[in-house]
Chains A and B, each alone.
Chain A
């Protein structure tokens, strides 16, 4: 199992009486490519931040890649995230004033598993495989197109060889053409490296890329509680 959630309850400390998530049970097996869809404000990003260990739950169990996240210290979660989870946002995946190489190096800096000597050729191979022309490697990433930035974001998310890749609406800021090539690229890399993919979007038209499609509203009992 890549992810195992049971009796998960979460509310932000600022609003303790306004629960955001209540998931009795949910799991994701290794190698699955799952799309979770939901409208904005449904708690998608909150769920993802619980899975990557930035947020801790009020009660229940969160097991990611066999590790109990709520039994780890803050520091352990930070290095667990750096070593095991790749993460792609909708926007701002890269430090805008650093170039592509530096951004990817920065990501590998926080993961202690890498030997630094093999790092540079690895980054270059990764950028090449993602069709980033070499002349753009040393430009500050803010000078590049959104499509290129999102592809560098894939490289950044993959540099530490994660077993779980979480993508939070990575295609929302792309146009149709860029979106299709991004998805094709992402899926081929994920398949090649046998990475478990958890993809969150409000865009149902992407569902044909995935082996499993879920609605967050079905998972999250809060929606029913509100309805009742």
Chain B
């Protein structure tokens, strides 16, 4: 082992008390810094992962962010619905590969209910083009069937075959429960780490059925859904033909036509519609969050700098106590530069130990989080984190130049008490 490293480690070990306190201070500050970066990365990642493979999102005319938030993230509420006719018109466009209708506005114990059709499970994808997978059961088949997101089932402890009652509105306690129309759980989705986990999926007809007055519509609980939504030959299902939906997701045959279709939809003369590209809307969201992000980052940088200065102050006062040790090293032939590097190395060790502690803490936290299904685990050793750790080590070394230089100068001019 190199003598310099050995000496630095043993001298740190010798000053355990103040060194441990310094490591704790350093660990906390690096935890804040890496934690903020980690959360920032995770949030971005999980937002960006929420929807993929969808070329356009169409809704009533509103802000593009608003449309993105309520259709995909179930945040906020839709300003208006779009008519079923518009949906059919867009879906029939030859450039459109698939169109998935979304109908929102109901809830179950605080989890939102999404009315859609079977194509949703076929085409909706998240993350790196992952399709939705069923953990148990199957996709809804009947009007009163419901497919649960992973966390809905997990938190409310639901099993296949359980009955659930949907409520109007999205509050946890609603005055208008649709108690006469319980739904049967037929499927539970695998975890995705997206808002899908917190959603109950029913058919559009199911949504219609609970909103009808119930007098003239009497759909048996086991009424099978027709595969053909456009031509209802069965009168019962025709009654449940939705008049409007909240939004729709579009997949196009060719990415090249995205802007053309977007323009066509935005210029529709029948109904005021808005089509957005999810990626563009997401980047608008980042722009809004950037100020907050930067503020958080700045605060954590300042916390870290103050901790580095604290460590430097500790080393500076230790130099005063170690005057005799420094003299001894000089007498046995240590050049002043050796003393400079000795002190820098001590700081490097304190910072490196703190970094290792923080990374293990974050790793444990990610592991626990994914274990409890709170979020999908994200690789914490991202390039950004590594860059940040290198920056942390460099800043601490720069902050340590002060005590190191003083150690250097003191050892160089050195005066002995006679």
- Chain A residue with Cβ nearest B12: A97
CA separation between A58 and B12, bound complex, in Å?
39
Per DSSP, chain B at the interface is: helix
User: Does B14 interact with chain A (Cβ within 8 Å)?
Assistant: yes
CA separation between A54 and B413, bound complex, in Å?
8
The residue that B3 contacts in the complex, of A14, A87, A94, A105, with Cβ under 8 A, is A105
Contacts of A89 in B (CB 8 A): 328, 331
User: Does A44 interact with chain B (Cβ within 8 Å)?
Assistant: yes
Q: Contacts A93-B328, A97-B13 known; A49 to B416 CB distance under 8 Å? A: yes
Q: Of residues A44, A91, A96, which shows the largest number of chain B Cβ atoms within 10 Å of its Cβ? A: A96
Interface residues of B (CB under 8 A from A): 3, 6-7, 10-11, 13-14, 324-325, 327-336, 338, 412-416, 418
Contacts of B334 in A (CB 8 A): 78, 110
Contacts of B327 in A (CB 8 A): 92
A82 touches B418 (CB 8 A): no
User: Does A74 interact with chain B (Cβ within 8 Å)?
Assistant: yes
The residue that B418 contacts in the complex, of A45, A52, A81, A105, with Cβ under 8 A, is A45
Contacts of B332 in A (CB 8 A): 81-82, 87, 106-107, 110, 156
A95 touches B6 (CB 8 A): no
User: Does A121 interact with chain B (Cβ within 8 Å)?
Assistant: no
B418 touches A43 (CB 8 A): yes
B333 touches A92 (CB 8 A): no
User: Does A217 interact with chain B (Cβ within 8 Å)?
Assistant: no
User: Does A40 interact with chain B (Cβ within 8 Å)?
Assistant: yes
User: Does A221 interact with chain B (Cβ within 8 Å)?
Assistant: no
CA separation between A41 and B417, bound complex, in Å?
9
B10 touches A97 (CB 8 A): yes
**Which residues of A from 190 to 223 have beta carbons under 8 Å from B?**
none
B333 touches A54 (CB 8 A): no
A109 touches B331 (CB 8 A): no
Using a Cβ cutoff of 8 Å, how many contacts connect chains A and B? 75
The residue that B11 contacts in the complex, of A97, A105, A107, with Cβ under 8 A, is A97
CB distance from A127 to the nearest CB of B (A): 17
CA separation between A93 and B331, bound complex, in Å?
10
7 nearest interchain CB pairs? Answer: A82-B333, A110-B333, A97-B14, A109-B3, A92-B324, A107-B332, A78-B335
B331 touches A54 (CB 8 A): yes
User: Does A46 interact with chain B (Cβ within 8 Å)?
Assistant: yes
CA separation between A75 and B329, bound complex, in Å?
14
B413 touches A13 (CB 8 A): yes
Q: Contacts A13-B413, A74-B412, A92-B324 known; A54 to B330 CB distance under 8 Å? A: yes
A102 touches B6 (CB 8 A): yes
What are 28 of the A-B contact pairs (CB < 8 Å)? A12-B415, A40-B418, A43-B418, A45-B416, A46-B416, A46-B418, A49-B414, A49-B416, A52-B331, A74-B335, A81-B331, A82-B332, A83-B333, A89-B331, A92-B324, A95-B10, A95-B328, A95-B329, A96-B325, A97-B10, A97-B11, A97-B13, A97-B14, A98-B10, A106-B7, A110-B333, A110-B334, A110-B338
User: Does A79 interact with chain B (Cβ within 8 Å)?
Assistant: yes
Contacts of A83 in B (CB 8 A): 333
Contacts of B333 in A (CB 8 A): 78-79, 81-83, 107, 110-111
CA separation between A14 and B416, bound complex, in Å?
13
**Which residues of A from 13 to 69 have beta carbons under 8 Å from B?**
13-14, 40-41, 43-46, 49, 52, 54-55
CA separation between A169 and B331, bound complex, in Å?
15
CB distance from B239 to the nearest CB of A (A): 87
CA separation between A110 and B4, bound complex, in Å?
11
CA separation between A80 and B333, bound complex, in Å?
8
Contacts of A13 in B (CB 8 A): 413
- Chain A residue with Cβ nearest B7: A106
A87 touches B331 (CB 8 A): yes
